[in-house]
Amino acid sequence: MKKQSYLFIMLLLSASVYFTSCSNDPENADVTIELEHMFGSSGFNLNNETYTNASGDSLEFTTLKYYISNIRLLKTGGEGWSETESYHLVDLSSAATTTITLSDVEAAEYTGIQFLIGVDSARNVSGAQTGALDPANNMFWSWNTGYIFLKAEGNSPQSSSGSFAYHIGGFQGANAGLRWITLDFGANTLIVQEGNENMSHLSVDVKKLFDGSTYTLSTSLVNNQMMVSTTSSSIADNYAEMFAFDHNHN
C-alpha cells in the first residue's frame, strides 16, 4: 500500500514536470531587427552631414523620426508570427531606437517580414495612448487628431526658407500616409531558435524619401508639408521605397 502510493506520487510528479516543461516552449527566442540608415551609398547621420538628392538639393537633417508598427514575420504555409502591441518609434537622434527587439518569437523558419510605416487607424481614434504612441513624443497632431507617421526636418539652401519640414501622416481617406512594407528574405531565411543569432538586418535608404520611382521631392519646390494631401501621399509612396532586406544572421 505504502509502495503503491509512493509510485503514484512519483508518477504524478514526473507528469507535472513533463507538462510544465512542455508549456515553456524552450525553443522560442528573441529576434533583433537592425535598421541601417543610408543616404544612397553613404552612411546616414543627423546634423553636420550634408547629402545631395537627385534634384541637386543639399540636405542637412536635424530630425528623422518614423513609426514602424504591426510587425509580422512571415513563413511558408501559415500565418507567421505577429508581435503584440507592436508600435515602435525610430528616432535617429537616439541610436537605441534603430534596433527593434521582438520578444519570445515562435521558433520557426521565416521567409520574410511585413510591417506598417505609420500607426494603424484604430490607434488614431482610440484616445490617449502611451509608450511609443505617447503624444509627448511630438509625433501627434493635436488640432486634427492623428499621428505623424514620418517627420523629417533639416536645412537646405535650395529651399526658399533655407529649411525643410515634412510631417507626413493621415490614417484615413485617399491620401492616407499608411504604407505596408513586405520584404522577402529570399534564400537567406531567418531560422529562429534558441542558440541562433536571430538577427535581421534591414537597410533604410533616406535618399528614397526624395527620389522615389514615381515622385521626386525637391526642397526648392516643396519645403514644408504638414497637411494630408496628394503631395503627402506621394511622399509616403517614397518612404515606402526606403526599406530593403539586407541579410539575416542565423
Partner 1 sequence: MQQHRLIFLFLLLVSILAGCSPEDQTGYYPGFDVPQGFPQPVYNPLNSGMTEKGYALGKKLFYDPILSQGNVVSCEDCHKQWSAFADGTHPLSHGVDNQFGARNAPPVFNLAWSPYFMWDGGINHIEVMPVAPITNEVEMGETIAGVVQKLNADDEYPALFAEVFGTTEITSQQMLKSLAWFLTSIVSADAKYDRYMAGQESFNAEELAGLELFGQLCADCHTPPLFTNYSFRNNGLDAVYDSDSGRAHVTGMHSDVGKFKVPTLRNAEYSGYYMHDGRFNTLEEVMNHYQGGIVSSATLDTALIPSTGFALSETDKQNLIAFIKTLSDINFIQNEAYHKEN
Judged by the rule CB under 8 A, the positions of this chain that interact with partner 1 are 124-130, 134-136, 138, 140, 142-145, 227-229
Q: Minimum Å distance from CB 231 to partner 1?
A: 11
Q: Which is nearer to partner 1, 59 or 139 (CB)?
A: 139
Query: By 3-state DSSP, what share of the chain in percent is helix, strand and coil, each rounded to 5?
Result: 20, 40, 40
Cβ atoms within 10 Å of 202's Cβ, excluding its own = 23
- Between residues 43 and 127, which has the closer beta carbon with respect to partner 1? 127
Smallest gap, in angstroms, from Cβ of residue 169 to partner 1?
A: 13
- Min dist CB 148 to partner 1, Å, is 13
User: With respect to partner 1, which residue has the nearer C-beta, 53 or 232?
Assistant: 232
Give me the least distance between CB of 227 and partner 1, in Å please.
Answer: 6
Q: Which helix (H) or strand (E) holds 23?
A: helix 2-23
DSSP secondary structure code for residue 2 in this structure? H
Helices (H), 42-193: 121-124
Q: How far is the CB of 8 from partner 1 (least distance, A)?
A: 44
Residue with cell 503624444: 135
Question: Nearer to partner 1 by C-beta: 130 or 214?
Answer: 130
Q: Measured from the CB atom, is 112 or 146 closer to partner 1?
A: 146
Is the CB of 18 or the CB of 143 nearer to partner 1? 143
Residue 195 C-alpha cell reads as 542558440
Q: State how far the alpha carbon of 72 is from the alpha carbons of 84, 147, 180, in Å.
A: 9, 21, 11
Output 140 or 215, the one with its CB closest to partner 1: 140
Say how many residues make up the chain: 250
For the chain, where are the E strands, in sequence order?
29-39, 42-43, 50-52, 58-74, 81-82, 87-91, 99-105, 108-110, 112-117, 140-141, 146-155, 163-169, 179-184, 190-192, 199-205, 224-225, 243-249
Residue 123 beta carbon to partner 1: minimum distance, rounded to whole angstroms:
11
Q: How far is the CB of 137 from partner 1 (least distance, A)?
A: 8
How far is the C-alpha of 87 from the C-alpha of 219, rounded, in Å?
30
The answer to whether the beta carbons of residues 225 and 215 sit under 8 Å apart is: no
